[in-house]
Amino acid sequence: LGAPADGSGINFTPGFPSYVSGHATFGGAVFGILRLFYGTDTMKFQLQSDEYNGITKDSVTNKIRPVRTRYYQSFTQAEDENFLSRIYLGVHWRLDQEA
């Protein structure tokens, strides 16, 4: 479906059937527990990826990646971004996240 025959490309959509996303499942569990623990969904916080921390290098360009901090207003906002990231990466379909 438009993928190069040699399997190269900017993304790495796997060549196997779709399954429930473990990434989204564990993320949903974590944020669900945080909502129960704090008794609210509204909680301002920030997260920073280990890949974009101003220290690690890009494996292709060998340049240091910039700091990319995400700011959240709620656990649901972070949970939704975690859920959607797997779709944007090309390793899951929406149904895999909602199962």
Examine residue 34 and state whether it is found in any structural domain, yes or no: yes
Asked if residue 99 has pLDDT above 90, the reply is no
In total, how many domains does the chain have? Answer: 1
* Stronger pLDDT, 39 or 14, i.e. the higher one: 39
pLDDT at 96: 73
Pick the catalytic residue: 1, 23, 55, 80? 23
Active site residue 23: yes
Contact call for residues 73 and 44 (beta carbons, < 8 A):
yes
In a domain, 9, yes or no: no
Report pLDDT for 5.
66
Beta bridge partners of 8: none
Tell me what the mean pLDDT of segment 70-95 comes to. Answer: 87
At 4, the pLDDT band (50, 70, 90 cuts) reads low
| Structural domain for 88, as ranges | 22-98
Q: What is the rounded average pLDDT of the residues 62-69?
A: 95
Q: Within its chain, how far is the Cα of 49 from the centroid? A: 10
